Structure 1
Amino acid sequence: MRRRLISSTLAVVLIVIAVFGVSLFVVETRTITSSARDRLEADAARVLAEVESRIAADEPVTEEELRGSAPADRHVRIELPGRPPVVLGEPPDGDAMRAEQRGGRGEYVSVEQPSSVVSDEIGRMLTILLIVSLLAVAAAALLAVRQARRVAAPLTDLAETAERLGSGDPRPRHRRYGVAELDRVADVLDASAERIARMLTAERRLAADASHQLRTPLTALSMRLEEIMTTEDRDTIKEEAAIGLAQVERLTDVVQRLLTNARDPRLGSAVGFDLDEVVVQQVEEWRPAYRSAGRAIVHSGRPGLRAVGTPGAVAQVLACLVENSLMHGSGTVAMRTRTTGNQVVVEVTDEGPGVPGELGSRVFERTVSGRNSTGLGLAVARDLAEADGGRLELLQQRPPVFALFLSREAEQGQAAA
C-alpha cells in the first residue's frame, strides 16, 4: 500500500509537471523569440532615425559617427543611395536573426544578431524549468513518503490490533493517529476489545463461581449418599433420599442462579419466603459433617420471620458461611435470626480465631484469603446477597460474626394498608 501511495502521488505530480512544463516552455520560447525580434526592430529603427537626422542636418554618415548609437553586439549595415554601405560590427556566423528598416529617402538599415543568443536564453529558461521540476518531484516524493507512512503505519498498527483481538488478547491500545477515519476505526476496535474483555471476564468468573458454588451442594449430597450406603433402615434410606433429592433441586437452582447473574446481575427473582425453613434446612444438611468433625451447629433467634429474596440464593450464602466455619473455625457454630428496622438478619458465628486483622472487610474481595483457600466463596456469597437487594457484612472479626441482611416482608395488615 505504501508503494502504491507513493507511485500514485509521483505519477500525478509528473503528469502535472509535464502538462504545465511543456506549455510553459512553448509559451516562454515564443516570448523570448518575439522579444528578440522586437529588440532588433527597435535597434534598426533607432539607427535609421539617427541616419535620417544626420542627413537632414547635412552631417556625415560614417562608421565612426554612428558607432556610438549602434548596438555593439549587433551587425549593422546602412545603405544610402549613391554612397558606399556603412557596416558596423562583425557579421554573425551561421543562422542569424535580422530586422530591416527603410527610410523615406531610400535609406536602408539592417540589424542582425546570431540565433545562438536566443537559443542560449531558451536553454537557460529550460534549465530553470528542469531544476524547478526536479525540486517539485523531490518535494512530492518526500511528501508522498510522509503521507504514505502516516497512512500505512496506522493501518499496519490497526491490523496488529485486530490480530491481537483474534488471538485472544482483548487489551485496548488507546492509540490515535490524527486521521479522523483511522481514529474512528481505532475507537471501534478499542470498544470491541473492551466488550470482549468483559465477556471473557464474565465467562471466567462464571466458571470460577460455578466450580466453587457447586462444590458445597455436591459435598452435602455425597454425604447423604454415604449415609444411605451405611444404613440398612428403610425409613432412614427414604428420609436421606428425600433430603438428597431436595439438595439436587437446590443444586439446579444454584446453576440457574449463576447463569442469571452471568447474563445480568440486576435480574433477580426475589419473593417472600419463610427464613426459618432455610436456616433449619442448612442446619440439618451440615449437622452430619459437624458431627463427624466432633463439633456442633445450632440455631436460635426470633421465629416466624419472613424475608424477601431468592430462597436458593440465601441458602447458598448461608452454606458458604457455614462451610467457612467448618473449614477455618472451631467450636460450636451458631446461626441467629433477628430484626433491625425493616430488615431481617441472619448471623453466623463460631468460636474460632476469626478473620486476621490485616484482612478485615477485604475478605469479600475475590482471590483474597487468609487460610490458603480459593478466595471466591465470600465474594460470590456477597454477589448473591446483593442480587436480591440484601448485603453480607463482617460485623466482628474475633470471634467472627458474619451477618446477612435481607429486606423484611411486609405483614398482611401493613400490605393491606
Structure 2
Amino acid sequence: MEEEYDVIVLGTGLTECILSGIFSVEGKKVLHIDRNDHYGGESASYNLTQIFNKFRPGKEVPQDLGRDRDWNVDMVPKFLMANGELTNILVHTDVTRYIEFKQISGSYVYRDGRVAKVPATEMEAIRSPLMGIFEKRRMKKFFEWLATYKADDPSTFQGMDLDSMSMNEVYAKFGLEPGTKDFIGHAMALQLDDSYLTMPARETVDRIVLYLQSVARYGKSPYIYPLYGLGELPQGFARLSAIYGGTYMLDKPVDEILYDDDGKFMGIRSGEEVAKAKICIGDPTYFPSKVRAGDKVIRAICVLKHPVSGCDNADSAQIIIPQNQVGRKHDIYTTVLSSNHNVVPKDHYLGMVSTVIETNAPHLEIEPAIKLLKPISETFMGIATLYEPLEDGKADNVYISRSYDATSHFETTTDDVKNIYRRITGKDLVLKKRPTVDEEQAAQA
C-alpha cells in the first residue's frame, strides 16, 4: 500500500467501482479501498446471515428460510433499463462477460386500487384497462409521434419547442386525459413526482423514448437484472479495474484523510501505512463533514412464498404507485424478484418497496405497496439518509459521489459517474471499446 498512486478510491459502491474501472482502463494507477469485508458499499447484496446481522442483530436465522448462499438481497433495490446508460457502459467495457442478465417480466402501475400492466406492445395497449377506447386512439397518436422523434432533429417535434413548452402542454396537444398522463409520466418517464409537468418537456420526452426503446430491445418490459443480485455489478467493474492493474483492499480501515498545506488531498493513512495520490474519489460515508443530508428514504425487504397478485403470476415485476393515487408527493416503487434470478431459494419471492419519506410514520407511507404483497413471511425495514457533496471537489481534489436515490433504475447513478469524471478530467466521458476475449487472448499470445 505504501506507494504513490494516480487515484485513490474509497468505498466499493457501484459509482466508485465504475470510475475505478474506467480510470484503470485509461492507464491510471488506482488503489481501491473499502472498510467493509464485501463489495458494494450501500449498494451491496446480502446473504441471509448478513441480513439478520444488519436488521435483527442477535436474532437466530429461522431454519425454514433455507441455505445462506441461496440469498442475495439488494440493499438498494433497482433495475437496469435495457437501453439505458449503465447497460451501454457494461456493454462497452465488456463487463457483461462476468455477469449474466435476465429480463424482468413486466412493468405495472397502480390505478384506482388495483394493479395494471403498462402496455409493452400495441396489442397490449388495445387491451389495457388503463384507458377507454377514444383515449387509446389519442395515445396511439402520441406514441406514433415518439416513434419518429429524434432528439437532435427539431423537424421531428411537430412544431413544438420542447425546451420552452411544459410537459403538460405536450400532453394537451395530444388531448391526453389525467389518468393517461399519470401512468406515462410515472410508469414510463419514471418521474418521481408531478413537478415535471410544469418543466420543459424535452427531458420527459427523452425519458419516455428511453423506456420505449428499452422495451423494444427485448420485449415484455424495459428492465433487466443481473443473476445473483446487484452486488454483481460493482464486482464486475472491480474485476475490470484489477485486469488493468488496479489494486483492491477490502476490510481495510481508513484512519485518516491526509491533506497538504494548501488543503489539497495527498493521501490516506490506514494504521501505520500511508498511500499517496493527488486525487480521491469516495462515497459520502468517508467524508461526513463534506456532505449535506437531503431526503430520507425508507426501504422494505419482504419475503414472500407466492407471486404477487395482479401481476399475471410473473416471476419478476416493477410496480409503481404514482403519488396522486395515494395522496402523496412522491411515488412508491416496488421491485419483485424470484428464485429464477438466483436471489432467493425455490418457491420464494422478494418484494422490495422504497419511497422518499414525507411524515414521521414512514412505515405507514408504504402501506399501499405492502398490501399488494401480502401475505408476507418476513419483513426487514431500513431508513437511509441521502447525501450529496457540498462542493464539486476541484478545490481539494476530493470527489464525492451522491447516495443512491429512491428511483427504480440506475440512470441517476450513471449521471453521477459522468459528472464526477467531467469534474476530475475536464472532459466528457467517452468510453473506448474494450477488446473482446478473443482479441485479448490473441494480443497476449
- Greater gyration radius: 1
Structure having greater relative contact order (Cα 8 Å, sep ≥ 6): 2
Q: Which has the higher strand share?
A: 2
Task: Give me the TM-score of the superposition, normalised by structure 2.
Answer: 0.21
Task: Give me the TM-score of the superposition, normalised by structure 1.
Answer: 0.22
